[in-house]
Structure 1
Amino acid sequence: MMKALSRFLLGNDSILVTKYVQRFLSSVTDGEVRMTRILKERFPQATSVKVVDISGGCGAMYEVHIESEEFKGKRTVQQHQLVNQALKEEIQGMHGLRIFTDIPKK
């Protein structure tokens, strides 16, 4: 039924819609839980940590959003390097990682 609905809504783009609908209806993946734990340990001052498996749940690609005071005074590339270092082991088995960092607003 999901595939039929997505084909009706978007025609040839139905595969993309189906993946996102399935992801929305599914539970949190083990990879998301593991990486969230690692980032919270590495960045104890983080006010927000969000890890999302954007590969449809297979663990090939993730998106990470992290807001922390630890990033203050660092360029974006340095912030991303810190995240990459924290997730070094997990990254080895991934196809890709999208990183979004920010400093908490006061």
Structure 2
Amino acid sequence: MLACTRSLTSSVTSALRLLRSNQVVVSGHVQRCLSTQTDGEVRIVQILKEKFPLASSLKVVDISGGCGAMYEIHIESSEFKGKRTIQQHQLVNQALKEEIQGMHGLRIFTDVPKQ
């Protein structure tokens, strides 16, 4: 009985730590809740809004669990019109040149708004 109580207490304590750290477990993986943005996400959004003022959609997510090592960017802008995907991604990379130096990885998804 004592071992069962300790195990339950340990599980509850772990769950509370995850809630306090703004993370959840999904399919065995720890993920951050999306209710708040990290400082890195906010900084990247600001940079991209300045570089692509005509962006109709912009989403930046820290997919490294909140540590800032890897981001996923979804951006839709008319400024990409007439450019190949590789050119669109190069524009995003250029805009984030300084930030990319401290990252492990970056996923970029670009699109032109459907008129």
Task: Give the TM interval when normalised to the shorter protein.
Answer: 0.7 to 0.9
With normalisation by structure 1, the TM-score equals: 0.82
RMSD over equivalenced CA pairs, Å: 1.9
Aligned length in residues: 95
Q: Does 1:39 align with 2:48?
A: yes
- Percent of counterpart pairs with the same letter? 73
What's 1:78 paired with? 87
What's 1:90 paired with? 99
Larger strand proportion, structure 1 or 2? 2
Task: Report the Cα offset of residue 105 of structure 1.
Answer: 0.9
With normalisation by structure 2, the TM-score equals: 0.76
What's 1:63 paired with? 72
The gaps in structure 1 that reach 5 residues or longer are: none
The gaps in structure 2 that reach 5 residues or longer are: 1-11, 19-23
- Give 4+ residue runs of structure 1 displaced > 3 Å after superposition: none
Larger radius of gyration: 2
Task: Report the Cα offset of residue 24 of structure 1.
Answer: 1.3
What's 2:57 paired with? 48
